[in-house]
Each structure stands twice: as C-alpha cells, then as structure tokens.
Amino acid sequence: MTAEEKNLDAIRKRIDEIDDTIADLLIRRMQYAKQAKKAKMQMNKPVVDRQREEEVIDKWRERARKNRGSEGLLELSEEMMQKMAALLIEYTVEKEQEEGTP
C-alpha cells in the first residue's frame, strides 16, 4: 500500500468516526424529541409546533452563516443546512404521529 493510499484510508477512518458520532447524536435527538412530545401532551399542547420548527431551521441556517469562510473548509450552505433541519423535523414529526399517544 502506498503512502497516498494509507493517507486516504486514515482520512476515511476519520470520516467513519464522524459518521458514527452523527448517528449517535441523531439517536439522542430523537430520544429528546420523544420526551418533548410527552411534555407537550401533558400540557395539552399540539405535538406539531410550526413556530418551533422555524426556530430550529433558522438556527441551522445561522450555523452555516457562522462557518462561512472558515480556512480551508468546504462551506456548508444555508440551503443545505435548511434542508437537513427540515428533514430532521419531518422525520421526527412522522415518527411522533406513528406512535400516537405516549
């Protein structure tokens, strides 16, 4: 194996580690979303909160703006971050509705 191939393998290993961390964090996020659903139901609030959804999306877009121009890094566009946040929200709401009541 050449030095370049070893370097590529090492980079891919780091990417895999990051992907593992992201997956773990998404699992934790879903657990907290389930807790939030229970709390909302106890307070007789609707499970879907469009204002909160917009706040979450805005925060993701802001993260992209903060990282704009970081040295040597690929830029995370606001559009991509918005899509990721919207997908997370959509998936969470879908799972909450599938579960029905806690």
Supply the pTM of this predicted model.
Answer: 0.80
- CATH code of the domain covering residue 50: 1.20.59.10
Q: What domain range includes position 42?
A: 3-99
Give the count of domains, the chain.
1
The pLDDT averaged over each successive group of 10 residues in the chain (102 residues) is 96 97 97 94 93 96 80 74 95 86 50
**DSSP string computed for the chain:** --HHHHHHHHHHHHHHHHHHHHHHHHHHHHHHHHHHHHHHHHTT--S--HHHHHHHHHHHHHHHHHTTT-TTPPP--HHHHHHHHHHHHHHHHHHHHHH---
